[in-house]
Chain A
Amino acid sequence: MNIPYTVEERPDTGLTNGKLGIWLFLASEVMLFGALFSTYIILRTGAPEWPHGELNVLLGAINTVILITSSVTMVMAWATLKLKDWAKHRLYLIATFALAGIFLVNKYFEYKDHFDKGETPAHSTFTAIYFTLTGLHGIHILGGMVVMLYFLGPGTKLWKKNPDQFTNRIEFTGLYWHFVDLVWIFLFPVLYLL
């Protein structure tokens, strides 16, 4: 039994099921991170003093550059697929995966540094919201890496069977990935700079 509009678009909405589905998922993610940003606002306005200079701005900036670059490689991974260039697509997808990995490694060192200095989540409401926001974001990076690994590995079978559907799925992965980048674009100034 075939579910319609999994690959071809429905004429009146112009959408495939997956496209609408992934955007709705991203909408829910906006509200998820929104709750944490709201938490940040309330905790910061309620705190007698808010720390400055506890976070490594340089590392945060480097991570921002890494993530933005990974967004470029991700959209290229999709664009090259639309041009049917399989080799370039693989290259770009692997690059995105690698950049994501470097981001996480940087975060590991950052976290370790904080823990060594006693700046655990329990230390203050600042560290609490810092670890929670970046931690949840990190989990999303990890999730994205898992999906990318799937499309680098077992998922490639779909390219032979149904290249359009595979291309769409890479597009949806890209949308998710750009969203993760978008969250960081707000996280970085809010936590590290303000």
Chain B
Amino acid sequence: MHSDSTEVKKSIRTYMTIGVALLVFTGITVAANQFHFGVPVAVTVALIIAMMKGSMVASVFMHLSHEKKWIYGALILTVLGFLVLMTVPIFTTMDTIGKHVPAIGGAAEHQGH
């Protein structure tokens, strides 16, 4: 734990550095948007950048890089559950027994403003 004051002072430098890095990556995120990738590439790029930013927040600001086993354990379980929630419903929805028939009077009439 960061109970030593010199350790805390060192950490403060790290916090500031990571803070700047996050702002830089935010700039990269917005800049990447200027390239008109196809949807799968765009999603991949966006998620990779977001995960890099997210892991910086988690490991440094939330001290996850030196946290205890129980926390890691609970989080790994959560990440697995999260991945299941992201992937399985959409796979199930896409795997159908028949051909999708678009509804009558549906989206086409309500889009556009």
Interface residues of A (CB under 8 A from B): 9, 13-15, 19-20, 23-24, 27, 30-31, 34-35, 37-38, 41-42, 45-49, 57, 61, 64-65, 68-69, 71-72, 74-76, 79, 82-83, 117-119, 123-124, 174-175, 178-179, 181-182, 185-186, 188-190, 193-194
Residue from A42, A179, A185 with most neighbouring chain B CB atoms (10 Å): A185
Question: Is B54 a contact partner of A185 (Cβ separation < 8 A)?
Answer: yes
Give the residues in chain A near B75, CB-CB below 8 Å. 23, 27
Closest 5 CB pairs of A and B: A72-B19, A27-B78, A189-B46, A48-B107, A193-B33
Give the residues in chain A near B65, CB-CB below 8 Å. none
Question: Is B82 a contact partner of A30 (Cβ separation < 8 A)?
Answer: yes
Give the residues in chain B near A182, CB-CB below 8 Å. 54, 57-58
Question: CB within 8 A of A79: which of B12, B47, B111?
Answer: B12
Which A residue's beta carbon lies closest to that of B22?
A68
Bound-state CA distance A57–B107 (Å) is 25
Question: Is B26 a contact partner of A61 (Cβ separation < 8 A)?
Answer: yes
Question: Is A193 a contact partner of B30 (Cβ separation < 8 A)?
Answer: yes
Residue from B9, B47, B102, B113 with most neighbouring chain A CB atoms (10 Å): B113
Question: Could you tell me how many residues of chain B have their Cβ less than 8 Å away from some Cβ of chain A?
Answer: 56
For the complex formed, measure the closest distance between the CB of B50 and the CB atoms of chain A, giving whole angstroms: 5
Give the residues in chain B near A190, CB-CB below 8 Å. 46, 50
Question: Is A79 a contact partner of B26 (Cβ separation < 8 A)?
Answer: no
Which B residue's beta carbon lies closest to that of A29?
B78
Question: Is B89 a contact partner of A42 (Cβ separation < 8 A)?
Answer: yes
26 A-B pairs (CB sep. < 8 Å): A24-B74, A30-B79, A34-B85, A38-B90, A41-B89, A48-B106, A48-B111, A57-B33, A61-B26, A64-B29, A65-B23, A68-B22, A71-B19, A75-B15, A76-B15, A79-B8, A82-B3, A83-B9, A117-B113, A174-B61, A181-B61, A186-B50, A189-B33, A190-B50, A193-B32, A194-B46
